[in-house]
Amino acid sequence: MKQVIDRHNLHSQNLHKFDQPSLQLQLESSTYAILSKEMADRTRELRQMKGEELQELNMEELMRLEKSLEGGLSRVVQTKGERLLNEIDALRRKEAQLTEENLRLKQHETGINTNVQGHSFNTFICSSSGDNSQDRESSNTSLKLGLPFPS
């Protein structure tokens, strides 16, 4: 019987605690309110940077927004210029590499043509005519002999 009374007393004491929000719940609620306000402010700033909702701004706020946008635009233009210069440099290096390779190939081709022109070739022609009943045509085969191309 004493256990039942103790549980009843404990339960009635805990009922008063449920009427007051817990400290953890209060902290979460205030954090949520702060974050919600910050999100709304950032969303409004973003819309204003896009040129929307400008009618509620006074002259000082408009000038501050303009200065912020000009600073951002100058950083964008600077970054774009740097990337273009890097791309141009890379293309110039590639051009020099391809020009060098083209010159090397032309020199190699000229060397091959010089070697080929200095040697004579022999041509052998073999004729064969058979009395094969299925193939009554004659066939000619030619073979050109010369120096092999260097690999």
Question: What does the pLDDT read at residue 139?
Answer: 57
Taking the C-alpha atoms of residue 104 and residue 77, their distance in angstroms, rounded to an integer, is: 41
Question: Residue 142: its pLDDT value, please?
Answer: 62
Residue-by-residue DSSP string for 80-145: HHHHHHHHHHHHHHHHHHHHHHHHHHHHHHHHHHHHHHTS--EEEEEEE----SS--S-EEEEEEE
- pLDDT for res 26: 85
Comparing 128 with 111, the larger pLDDT belongs to: 111
Q: What is the per-residue pLDDT for 5? A: 80
pLDDT bracket for residue 82 (50, 70, 90):
very high
The CA distance from 11 to 7, in Å, is 6
Cα separation, 123 vs 140, in Å, equals 12
pTM, entire model? 0.48
- The per-residue pLDDT of the chain, averaged, comes to 80
What pLDDT does residue 24 have? 82
116-138: pLDDT as tens digits: 555 555 555 555 555 554 454 55
**Per-residue pLDDT tens digits for 36-59:** 999 999 999 999 999 999 999 999
Contact yes or no for 145/125 (Cβ under 8 A): no
Which residues partner with 128 through β-bridges?
139
Residue 80 pLDDT exceeds 60: yes
**133: phi then psi, degrees, rounded to nearest 5:** -70, -25
